Amino acid sequence: MSGETATGQDGTGRMRGHSAEPVVESTAESTAESAAGSGAEPAVESAGESAGESAAEPIVESTEDTTAAGVASGTPEPARRRRPGGRAVLAAAVVLLLGGLATTGWLLHRRATEDAARAGALAAGREYALALTTYDHQDLAGNFDRVAQHSSPAFARQYQEVSDGLTQLIQQYQATSKGEVLHAGVAESSADRAVLLLFVDQTITNTNSPEPRVDRTRMRLTLVHSGDQWLIDDVQLI
């Protein structure tokens, strides 16, 4: 019995030992198999790899791609850098345009003023040439006054001296003269001075030559602008 009991114990021990070793081995193997089967380590590696791939590498790649795309497309920073220069160029162009328009407007105004002055001087010169070459012994005072009224002070004095010397001769020979302006042109002109060239015919009668005689006169007439009218400043027969 004791032997059997020992044997039983030995058996039990062996059985227990046999049963314990297989349990440990089975547990270890189960654990290994379970770990291998459940993929614990691969799960960690996969999680690490997926985390690295999804968090680190894609972000870096996305930043590089975005930067490259931004550089390739030229937006937005380069566009902001170019805008001040573009505005400066536009502002300069506007200034130049306004300056050109102002200059053009001034030139047009000056040209219009000069054209008006030329036209006014030419019309006045024609009228004054007729007054200088037309007279009647019966109204010499009126003829001379018309010329004096449209003369500068200096020329009015000069003309008065000449007319005083001619008055006696004109009355003595009962002379008359009628002028006709054939051609007139502006040789020089500005806003306040003009020089005209005129071709004038004078039809003259007097007691010495009852038949009318035509004197062809070429006249250089200088006018000055005073107030709102042109005045005779000099007369030369050429």
For residue 160, the tally of other CB atoms under 10 A from its CB is 13
The fraction of the chain above a pLDDT of 70, given in percent, is 62
> Given this model, what pLDDT does residue 81 score?
55
The 10s digit of each residue's pLDDT in 21-53 is: 443 344 334 443 444 444 444 433 443 344 344
Q: Are residues 230 and 124 in contact, defined by beta-carbon separation less than 8 angstroms? A: yes
Q: What residue has token string 């806003």?
A: 191
pLDDT band of residue 219 (cuts 50, 70, 90) is: very high
Confidence of residue 210 (pLDDT cuts 50, 70, 90): confident
Of 78-82, 142-146, 212-216, 228-232, the poorest mean pLDDT is in 78-82
| 18 pLDDT above the threshold of 80 | no
Q: CA 4 to CA 219: how far, in whole Å?
A: 174
d(CA 204, CA 201): 10
Instruction: Please state at what angle helix 140-149 crosses helix 153-172, rounded to 10 degrees.
Output: 170
Residue 153 has pLDDT above 60, yes or no: yes
Map tokens 């054209």 to a residue. 115
Residue 105: what pLDDT?
A: 74
Domains of the chain as residue ranges with CATH: 116-237 (3.10.450.230)
DSSP H or E stretch at residue 225? strand 209-226
Give whichever of 34-38, 99-103, 164-168 has the largest mean pLDDT: 164-168
44 vs 236, more confident: 236
Helix 40-51, helix 2-38: angle, nearest 10: 20
